[in-house]
């Protein structure tokens, strides 16, 4: 069965004045969802396709391009096409049932005996998976300070290193990796580069244009943006044997995102540029104000000039530095936990990127072996008024300081 990320049906928008989606800005690409008009109803919102099976032609062919829902779905294709366009992904995009499913598929596509380099600071769930499951796949994994390109170069195992996994900004310490420089090192060693760009979004960083081979997102986060869909996606720079292997793994393992979730994700994608811009601006304003707060010992945010990765972030991020920041609370772990207990607007919950602002004491979540300091609180800035968010956090910090002190 042939497969493409191109949406089905005609589009009045793509013919208007000869302006094609390739000429559109990311804001227009997302809002228009590539401009597709349903050919049957003329609806401007793509329909939801729930069917699990499709009619064969009289000669038993499938000229519609669909045969069964496990490897493919029309609604899922629609969302994939928008993400691929936003990421400038020539190979297209593959949606999975979660970010972890997308990342795991990529590692499972490697050969036994391959060597992987991953960052010391990364999403804890995937770090734990690499420590526990990668050895069972006969994959060797070294964790390095990815923000230091020379550490990456030193970790290369000639003839064995096949993948360098980057996460930038790194969760939750907001570390920044120079994608272009690390990609150059990896390419010289014959290794692919995959970038977890969840905390940046394609509105602020497009890793494929910086030399990466694959970009991954937990689409649960800002791509969807409404805390009501669990999804993951891989987008590829080119179609090659490895990309075909990923496509086969998703289809064979039944890891595709369901059509209803894809439909909701498409709804979120249409406002992504507006949300990402607003959330990034709010995060920067909060970071700047919290830097001067007497009860905050450090603010971790790449948009601050004194952040060690600021220069690299300013070079590879456009229009903002992302929606995630972390603070270290004066008074230590007890004060940090008590601060999170006292907020009203901020919600004590796991995840990132939603329209509502979230706060979490990460060391408690990640447990023993975490690189996260015990006095750290991770903040995911939503679209609320940053002044309201600051007042809420200020009151919580003050209350916790009085209680602990």
**Residue 342 backbone class (left: φ over 0; alpha: ψ -120 to 50; beta: rest):** alpha
Return the SS3 of 335: helix
The DSSP bridge pattern shows strands 115-119 and 161-167 to be parallel
DSSP 286: H
Using CA atoms, how far residue 185 sits from 37, 52, 190, 243, in Å, is 44, 44, 9, 21
The C-alpha atoms of residue 46 and residue 29 are separated, in whole angstroms, by 15
DSSP 53: B
Using CA atoms, how far residue 362 sits from 75, 88, 103, 219, in Å, is 35, 33, 21, 20
**Residue 42 backbone class (left: φ over 0; alpha: ψ -120 to 50; beta: rest):** left
- E strand residue ranges, 252-354: 296-300, 324-329, 347-348
The C-alpha atoms of residue 242 and residue 130 are separated, in whole angstroms, by 20
- Cβ-contact 122, 171 below 8 angstroms: yes
Q: What are the start-end ranges of the H helices in 70-229? A: 74-87, 99-108, 124-132, 149-155, 179-188
Return the SS3 of 328: strand
For residue 360, the tally of other CB atoms under 10 A from its CB is 22
Length of the chain: 405
Structure tokens at 336: 């940090």
The C-alpha atoms of residue 340 and residue 325 are separated, in whole angstroms, by 15
Which positions are annotated as active-site residues? Answer: 70, 123, 196, 221
Q: What is the DSSP string of 305-350?
A: TTSTTHHHHHHH--S---SEEEEEETTHHHHHHHHHHH-SSSEE-S
């Amino acid at each position: 069965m042939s497969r493409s990320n191109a949406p089905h049906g005609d589009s009045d928008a793509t013919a208007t004045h000869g302006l094609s989606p390739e000429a559109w800005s990311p804001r227009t690409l997302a809002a228009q969802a590539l401009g597709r008009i349903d050919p049957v109803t003329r609806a401007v919102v793509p329909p939801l396709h729930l069917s699990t099976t499709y009619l064969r032609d009289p000669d038993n062919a499938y000229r519609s391009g669909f045969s069964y829902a496990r490897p493919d779905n029309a609604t899922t294709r629609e969302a994939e096409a928008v993400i691929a366009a936003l990421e400038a992904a020539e190979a297209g995009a593959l949606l999975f049932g979660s970010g972890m499913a997308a990342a795991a598929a990529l590692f499972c596509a490697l050969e036994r005996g391959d060597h992987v380099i991953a960052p010391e600071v990364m999403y804890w769930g995937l770090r734990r998976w690499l420590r526990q499951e990668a050895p069972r796949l006969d994959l060797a994994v070294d964790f390095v300070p990815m923000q230091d390109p020379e550490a990456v170069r030193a970790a290369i195992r000639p003839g064995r290193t096949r993948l360098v996994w980057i996460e930038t900004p790194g969760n939750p310490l907001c570390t920044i990796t120079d994608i272009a420089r690390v990609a150059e090192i990896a390419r010289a060693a014959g290794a692919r580069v995959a970038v977890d760009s969840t905390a940046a979004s394609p509105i602020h960083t497009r890793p494929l244009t910086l030399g990466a081979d694959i970009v991954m997102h937990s689409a649960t986060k800002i791509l969807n943006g409404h805390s009501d869909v669990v999804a993951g996606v891989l987008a590829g720079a080119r179609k090659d044997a490895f990309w075909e292997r990923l496509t086969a793994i998703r289809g064979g393992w039944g890891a595709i995102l369901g059509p209803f979730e894809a439909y909701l994700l498409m709804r979120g994608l249409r406002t992504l540029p507006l949300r990402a811009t607003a959330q990034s601006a709010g995060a920067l304003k909060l970071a700047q104000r919290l830097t001067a707060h007497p009860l905050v010992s450090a603010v971790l945010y790449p948009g601050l000039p004194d952040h060690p990765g600021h220069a690299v972030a300013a070079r590879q991020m456009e229009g903002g530095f992302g929606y995630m920041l972390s603070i270290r609370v004066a008074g230590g772990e007890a004060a940090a936990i008590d601060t999170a207990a006292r907020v009203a607007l901020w919600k004590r919950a796991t995840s990132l990127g939603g329209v509502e602002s979230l706060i979490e004491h990460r060391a408690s979540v990640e447990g023993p072996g975490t690189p996260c300091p015990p006095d750290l609180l991770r903040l995911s800035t939503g679209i609320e008024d940053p002044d309201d968010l600051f007042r809420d956090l200020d009151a919580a910090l003050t209350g916790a300081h009085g209680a602990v002190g």
